[in-house]
Amino acid sequence: MSQIPVAKPVLDEREVEAVRRVILSGWVTQGPEVAAFEQEFADFVGAAHACAVSNCTTALHLALLAVGVKAGDEVITVSHSFIATANAIRYCGAVPVFVDIEADGFNIDPELIEAAITSRTKAIICVHQLGMPCDLRRVVDVAAVHGIPVIEDAACATGSEILWKGRWEKIGKPHGDIACFSFHPRKVVTTGDGGMLTTSNPEYDRKFRLWRQHSMSVNDTVRHGSKRVIYESYPELGFNYRMTDMQAAVGREQLKRLPEIVARRRDLAERYTRQIADIDGLRPPAEPAWARSNWQSYCVTLPDGQDQQDIMQMLLDCGISTRRGIMNSHLEAAYGEPNTHRISGDLNNSVTAQNTTVILPLFVQMSDADVNEVVAALASSLTVPEAIIAKTG
Ligand SMILES: Cc1ncc(COP(=O)(O)O)c(C=O)c1O
């Protein structure tokens, strides 16, 4: 029986050689490789500044602190995201205010933001869920009216693009105030774990660099290279949110492969979409005309009345791994207490999406035949409605 995982990173001797080079250099913590990775990432997305950190959760934390989010403030976001999005808000002592997602996608409904704004709103985190750009133009426009900073949770969106003022631009330029990326192995490029913050604001970038290393006044590389004795100081509270040079060396190799990775992922997604169109009631993910997803994940909506878990189990029995659609933070016990969040309006689309969608395998090494196999297994796992059985006998 074939085994098709849901995801698989693209790693080979090039990454091994990169890490080997760093290990043998004797400098393994944040240093020259991190600096080079930051520059290459900034160039790739078209950002003025890029600052590498330990993961996207820490990136979100620093982004929120940089725009001034403090205890008691509110930050508007979606519940329908990996829990890290909401958790980062709570690390600041602030309250996540959840609004619903759009009915025909998995991203924030910009229409609902206005009603969620109060005098305590200090930021908006919009998520480019599963690599699909959210409707940033509308998010940024509402935010601008109220002078609220926009943080893009671009954890899944390295290599995704958005049509901006008539030009295709990479997510992360950024189009909001700060964008935060993840290099977890489930993402399109990986450093094992890792994150990146991009911004055009030099003051934010200065803060990220200070805070990621305990707010130490002198970084390791500078102190190491100095011909004079330097005593460092710690002007404010900081964190250990550094990326290592070993991770950055892997990241640099991954970045070189990124265009090829995204191109193949887009081919595979197109193949899925064409085939799924033939299956009654099964809905492929929609890509708006102004978005080009990197297809970090390919998430289908099941026909009405189908049992998500049964279908996933049937696929697993055929050797095909899937995941349920994106979770909702407000349904988790960690968000059980009323003071952990606020809901603006209702979250009906978010809850429906969690319960009626399935993430199918999609990774570069997948063959066209693998896609055919997944779609065939999915089609045969769908239960035929009683009415059709009665008609056809
Ligand atoms: C939307 C979203 N935000 C944040 C994160 C957190 O990323 P990391 O694991 O790099 O901290 C993830 C990771 O899965 C994510 O999917």
Question: Residue 78 is part of which domain span?
Answer: 13-255
User: Concatenated DSSP letters for 72-131?
Assistant: T-EEEEESSS-THHHHHHHHTT-EEEEEPBPTTSSSB-GGGHHHH--TTEEEEEEE-GGG
**Active site residue ranges:** 187
Where residue 48 sits, what CATH number does that domain have? 3.40.640.10
Please check whether residues 244 and 270 belong to one and the same domain. Answer: no
Q: What is the pLDDT of residue 389?
A: 47
Domain closes at, from 255, 288, 321: 255
* Within-domain flag for 175: yes
Alpha helical stretches, state H, the chain: 13-25, 32-45, 56-66, 84-91, 113-116, 136-146, 202-211, 220-225, 245-276, 308-317, 348-356, 368-381, 386-392
Q: With respect to residue 288, please indicate whether it lies within any of the assigned structural domains.
A: yes
82 lines ligand 1 (CB under 6 A): yes
pLDDT along the chain (393 residues), means of 10: 90 98 97 98 98 98 98 98 98 98 97 98 98 98 98 98 97 98 98 98 98 92 88 96 98 98 98 94 97 98 95 97 97 97 98 98 97 96 63 47
Buried b (16+ CB within 10 A) or exposed e, 358-392: bbbbbbbebeeebbebbbebbeebbeeeeeeeeee
Place of tokens 């809850």: 351
Answer whether 84 contacts ligand 1 (Cβ < 6 A). yes
In a domain? residue 272: yes
Instruction: Please tell me if the CB atom of residue 106 comes closer than 6 angstroms to any atom of ligand 1.
Output: no
Domain count, the chain: 2
Pick the atom of ligand 1 nearest to 128's CA: 1
Dihedrals phi, psi of 353, to nearest 5 degrees: -60, -40
pLDDT in the model for residue 384: 64
173 and 218 both lie in a single domain: yes
pLDDT of residue 224: 85
Alpha-carbon distance of 351 to 364, in angstroms, equals 30
Query: Which of 224, 255, 286 is a domain's end point?
Result: 255
Q: Which of 151, 184, 187, 191 has most ligand 1 atoms within 8 Å of its beta carbon, as the pocket-test mutant? A: 184
DSSP state of 31: S
In the prediction, which pLDDT does 356 show? 97
> 59: CA distance to ligand 1 center in Å?
10
Same domain, 351 and 229: no
**Residue 392 maps to a domain:** no
DSSP helix/strand/coil, 142: helix
pLDDT of residue 104: 93
Which of 218, 234, 255 is the endpoint of a domain?
255
pLDDT, residue 393, reads 44
Same domain, 62 and 175: yes
